[in-house]
Structure 1
């Protein structure tokens, strides 16, 4: 009885591990506090990345933000071309894509990555937009 239970338990574990999504796809960097974001986006050496689609970016974005579409097929390649020594502040529509994008950058060796969260909330808080 014990032997079959252990076998069944191992089978469930193997099944669970084989159907799980890769950690990179699940990992998200939490949204940082607004005060930290406001300080960072004012610094010249900080790179602000809007990871929304180009259509979303065109409707308005944070001042000096660069568009790096998280949904684009070449996102990983473009992200890999960035300078890993710089500080990056990422945002999107809700904080979800920017959290996932930040996690990917961290996996690629970026040490200074901040998830600023939702554009609408940043704009409402008075962060300068274009």
Structure 2
């Protein structure tokens, strides 16, 4: 797991052809807006989150965000424990995101 600043996250993501963006916020938060092309799996689903994550391709690079960076950090740690090697946490989360968004 690596904590990336907003700028580092955007730059690395732009040059990563093996990237998956993962939004771990609640559905209500996602309804307020999200980063384009993000896959949504709510970390508050607990075992359901782990079940959904297990279906993902472990060879991909996962760029993970939540509202402020806390839950996405937890998601990175959970995913690392499940065998995902490349997880990147967006420091500051969606609340500080200055890139493109979709509603």
- TM-score normalised by structure 1 residue count: 0.70
The answer to whether 1:121 aligns with 2:96 is yes
In the alignment, which residue of structure 2 is the partner of 1:34? 6
| Equivalent pairs, count | 99
Conserved 8 A contact 1:40-1:89: no
In the alignment, which residue of structure 1 is the partner of 2:81? 107
Judging by fraction of residues, say which structure has more helix.
1
Instruction: Please list the CA deviations of residues 58-114 of structure 1 after superposition, one character each: whole Å capped at 9, or x if unmatched.
Output: 110011111110001400100111111000000001111000000000111111100
Q: CA 1:30/1:95 → structure 2, altered by over 3 Å: closer, same or farther?
A: farther
Structure 1 runs of 4+ off > 4 angstroms?
Answer: none
List alignment gaps of at least 5 residues for structure 1: 1-28
In the alignment, which residue of structure 2 is the partner of 1:5? none
In the alignment, which residue of structure 2 is the partner of 1:15? none
The whole-number CA distance in structure 2 between the counterparts of 1:56 and 1:41 is 22
Conserved 8 A contact 1:40-1:46: no
List alignment gaps of at least 5 residues for structure 2: none
- TM-score normalised by structure 2 residue count: 0.87
CA RMSD of aligned residues (A): 1.5
In the alignment, which residue of structure 2 is the partner of 1:10? none
The structure with higher relative contact order (CA 8 Å, sep 6+) is 2
In the alignment, which residue of structure 1 is the partner of 2:34? 61
Mapping 1:14-25, distance limit 5 Å: none
**Bigger Rg, structure 1 or 2:** 1
Q: Secondary structure at the match of 1:114?
A: strand
